Structure 1
Amino acid sequence: MSSAPKKNQVTTGLRRRGNLLAAALRPPARTPARTRDDPSSGEGGDDYAPSQVPRLVESPVFVLCSVRSGSTLLRVLLNSHTEIRAPHELHLRHLKVKPSRDFTGDVMGELGLNVKELEYMLWDQVLWYELQRSGKSQIVEKTPSNALVWRRLAAAWPQARYIFLLRHPASIVESVLARRKNSVPETVVPEILRYAESIEAARNELPGVTVRYEDLTTAPEQVTKEICSYLGVEWEPGMLEYGEQDHGPYRAVFGDWGAKLKSGEIQAPRPLPDPDTVPPELRDVTRAWGYFDEP
């Protein structure tokens, strides 16, 4: 009697079991990519509950300001203090965590961590590394775009402190137009309004000290003393002689690189714009920041 039929039955059975086993072992379908509106993606969303993960740097200081507001000048003045490390712009928000396997979320979830928390831990590690490298006791981070993600910073560091650096909004627009090639008011004004609205929202919700660029440049001793008092350190006269120290590179993306800053001396601010020249979109925030009082 031929054994071919029995052999075919065995082969078919083995193939069926192999297919079932392969189906059982097949990874689940990939979930849709998270969007910027999903808080767990790390950008956008409304989940800004304070993180419960311990931080290496518990109370960092963030300067919340617009571009072209004098933040690099403030940085080098603070960095001249023996206890304050104020590095070049770190752009923490652009340091991302991207899981490379489908099961990573489940694995990290067992530790109580999601992508957002992992990014916070990465940012914290960067600040801690720079602080340890400097040998100082406090760190100040001044990237202007921090103002656009202040809710994330507040969630990542519930004990963070803030310096709100203001400058006349129309002066900011003038400075951007002068520095940025091919820029036009039609795009710059909405950009500065976005910064200003974010800063004003943060000022209404976060603790901190508010300083104005115009005061920093005309009364630097008074303003830096106020900041030192807020940070709990003694004021040092050497802060005003920032040109005597090396503060790292002056170039694009790292902060201001203009001749005034490189001079090593605090320069007087430009005259304030005439109230009639302030763009209509910026009038409310200009008034809120105390630059003019017309109705």
Structure 2
Amino acid sequence: MRDSRKSVIGKGLRRRGRLMIQAVSPPRRTLNAIPAPRTEAAPTESSYVAPRAPRLVDSPVFVLSSVRSGSTLLRVLLNSHSRIRAPHEMHLRTVHVQLTRSFTADAMKALELDKTELEHLLWDRVMHLELTRSGKDVIVDKTPPNTLIWPRLHRCWPEARYILLLRHPGAIIASLTERRQDPDHAEILAEVLNYSEKLEEARQTLNVHVVTYEDLTAEPEKATRALCEYLGVEWESGMLDYGSKDHGRFRPQLGDWSSTIKSGRIQAARTADPTVELPPRLREIATAWGYEV
């Protein structure tokens, strides 16, 4: 008798001259099944270099310095001025964008943008937002590792201004050695040399204003007057009384947080240990900066 059930799918097979019917179960349907993720080729690097887009902040100010060179002191002195906003370390170089799809680079290229320029636009927007919130008109970023990428900063902001804050390399080495637990002397020497090389490159290449940590602490009025002249603002005596102003919380990774900076008073710089032997190249750079070695 012929099976008339419609749920059975018939498949014809010929065996010994007879037509056989093979029942094939329909595929099961799983409730709430999750489709397999779509695979897509990873984004590829593009050789396209986008032109520079307009900036919201045309002429930001960057303090270029080594770590342990008094950059937090310089920041709070500048931030005490009624027209200058110098926030904590901004670490813009660590803020990145991702082009996550294979076609994203082409989409951005059609807009005359690339990954680097997108990051520059984001950095500029952060700068502008901080400046707008402060109600001031000059913004200063004093993040020491900016020194290591100064060519990119110059590319991002061709009209940027730069303050080179120098300190005797021997004093920096002593400060780092004292600050760190179980210090590695060779590692510290390499770090100070790396910063010093980049600072010397910037000094030789850019139009910069140079101030030393030793002069800033010994003659703060003279040093800050010169800084104000460079930045095009009138000097204010209140800059020297930074402890009476609000500069945000002093905390690790955003600047110096020692009792010295928290005291609210400018204190004398510790001199370099004359017995510390500097490597030849570091000695050469220190001499070029006017230090005795």
Structure 1 range deviating more: 265-274 or 255-264: 265-274
Q: Which residue identity is paired with 1:204?
A: Q
State the match for 2:223 in structure 1: 223
* 1:185 Cα offset (Å): 1.1
* 1:235 Cα offset (Å): 0.2
Residue 66, structure 1, aligned to residue 59, structure 2: no
| Root mean square deviation of aligned Cα | 2.0
Counterpart of 1:30 (choices 21, 42, 47) is: 42
**What is the aligned residue count?**
257
User: What is the CA deviation profile of residues 40-68 of structure 1, one whole-angstrom value per residue up to 9, with x for unaligned ones?
Assistant: 8xxxxxx8x9x621100000000000000
Q: Which residue identity is paired with 2:128?
A: W
**2:42, 2:101 within 8 Å by CA — same for their partners in 1?**
no
**2:174, 2:272 within 8 Å by CA — same for their partners in 1?**
no
**1:108, 1:114 within 8 Å by CA — same for their partners in 2?**
yes
* 1:171 Cα offset (Å): 0.5
User: What is the CA deviation profile of residues 212-266 of structure 1, one whole-angstrom value per residue up to 9, with x for unaligned ones?
Assistant: 0000000000000000000000000000000001101111101000111000000
Which portions of structure 1, spanning 4 or more consecutive aligned residues, are displaced by more than 2 angstroms? 26-32, 275-281
* Counterparts of 2:40 and 2:277, CA distance in 1: 60
**2:75, 2:142 within 8 Å by CA — same for their partners in 1?**
yes
* Counterparts of 1:177 and 1:103, CA distance in 2: 49
User: What is the CA deviation profile of residues 79-106 of structure 1, one whole-angstrom value per residue up to 9, with x for unaligned ones?
Assistant: 0000000000000000000112111101
* Counterparts of 1:144 and 1:106, CA distance in 2: 35
* 1:271 Cα offset (Å): 2.3
- Pick closer, same or farther for the CA change 1:158–1:263 going to 2, 3 Å: same
| Structure that is richer in strand per residue | 2
SS of equivalent to 1:285:
helix
Q: Which residue identity is paired with 2:216?
A: L
State the match for 2:269 in structure 1: 269
State the match for 2:141 in structure 1: 141
State the match for 2:242 in structure 1: 242
* 1:29 Cα offset (Å): 4.0
* Counterparts of 1:39 and 1:239, CA distance in 2: 47
* TM-score in terms of structure 2 length: 0.83
* TM-score in terms of structure 1 length: 0.83
Q: Which has the larger radius of gyration?
A: 2
* Counterparts of 2:209 and 2:178, CA distance in 1: 29
* 1:39 Cα offset (Å): 8.6
**1:170, 1:282 within 8 Å by CA — same for their partners in 2?**
no
**2:43, 2:99 within 8 Å by CA — same for their partners in 1?**
no
* Counterparts of 1:235 and 1:206, CA distance in 2: 24
SS of equivalent to 2:253:
coil
**1:61, 1:163 within 8 Å by CA — same for their partners in 2?**
yes
SS of equivalent to 1:277:
coil
Identity of aligned residues (%): 53
Matches within 5 A, 1:51-130: 52-130=52-130
* Counterparts of 1:92 and 1:166, CA distance in 2: 22
Q: Which residue identity is paired with 2:187?
A: T
Q: Which residue identity is paired with 1:228?
A: C
Q: Which residue identity is paired with 2:131?
A: L
* 1:211 Cα offset (Å): 0.4
User: What is the CA deviation profile of residues 258-292 of structure 1, one whole-angstrom value per residue up to 9, with x for unaligned ones?
Assistant: 11100000001112321663344421111111102
**Structure 2: segments with no counterpart, 5+ residues:** 1-11, 13-37
State the match for 2:204 in structure 1: 204
* Counterparts of 1:155 and 1:270, CA distance in 2: 36
